[in-house]
């Protein structure tokens, strides 16, 4: 049984069809798999959907329904939500110091990766799922097996 950590941009693909949706849906449908997200992801998914409305990708009247579906999945335990504590902020600081200057790692991505590292410290984490190329690079450099849902 595999375990996956999904970042916000990967998880949003499950709720709104786009490049990579079939792969994310397959990961989420995998029997016996465990799916982790950070608490930050819950907030970021709100932002992702709002941006899609602002950009005209989603009609405004679909926003509430998407958020309701997503939050119901969170409440029903479809995802194991990883808290972000002071330890993860410290790890994010380290990641930004190491990878910020050369790999353009961003703050929220560093926090996502720090949350994945917190899971990895307690139990094996098989895959880190993100379509973000910069985050893929840093996650791989930190020893995570990376899945880009936008690649076949």
Which domains are assigned to the chain?
3-147 (3.40.50.1010)
pLDDT tens, position by position, 87-101: 999 999 999 999 999
Tell me the C-alpha distance between 84 and 39, whole Å: 7
Residues of 35-68 as b/e, b for ≥16 C-beta within 10 angstroms?
A: bbbbbbbbebbbebbeebeeeeebeeeeeeebee
Question: What is the value of pTM for the model shown?
Answer: 0.95
pLDDT in tens, 27-36: 999 999 999 9
CA atoms within 13 A on the CB side of 82: 29
How big is the CA angle at 110 (ends 40 and 41), to the nearest 5 degrees? 20
pLDDT in tens, 49-85: 999 999 999 999 999 999 999 999 999 999 999 999 9
């Amino acid at each position: 049984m595999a375990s996956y950590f999904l970042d916000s941009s990967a998880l949003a693909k499950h709720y709104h069809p786009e490049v990579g949706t079939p792969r994310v849906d397959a990961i989420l449908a995998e029997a016996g798999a465990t799916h982790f997200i950070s608490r930050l992801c819950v907030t970021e998914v709100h932002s992702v959907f709002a941006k899609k409305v602002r950009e005209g990708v989603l009609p405004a009247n679909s926003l509430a329904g998407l958020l309701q579906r997503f939050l119901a999945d969170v409440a029903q335990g479809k995802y194991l939500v990883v808290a972000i504590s002071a330890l993860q902020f410290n790890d994010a600081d380290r990641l930004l110091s190491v990878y910020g200057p050369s790999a353009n790692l961003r703050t929220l991505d560093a926090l996502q990766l720090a949350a994945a590292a917190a899971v990895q410290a307690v139990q094996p984490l098989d895959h880190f799922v993100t379509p973000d190329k910069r985050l893929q690079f840093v996650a791989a450099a930190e020893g995570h097996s990376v899945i880009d849902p936008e690649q076949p």
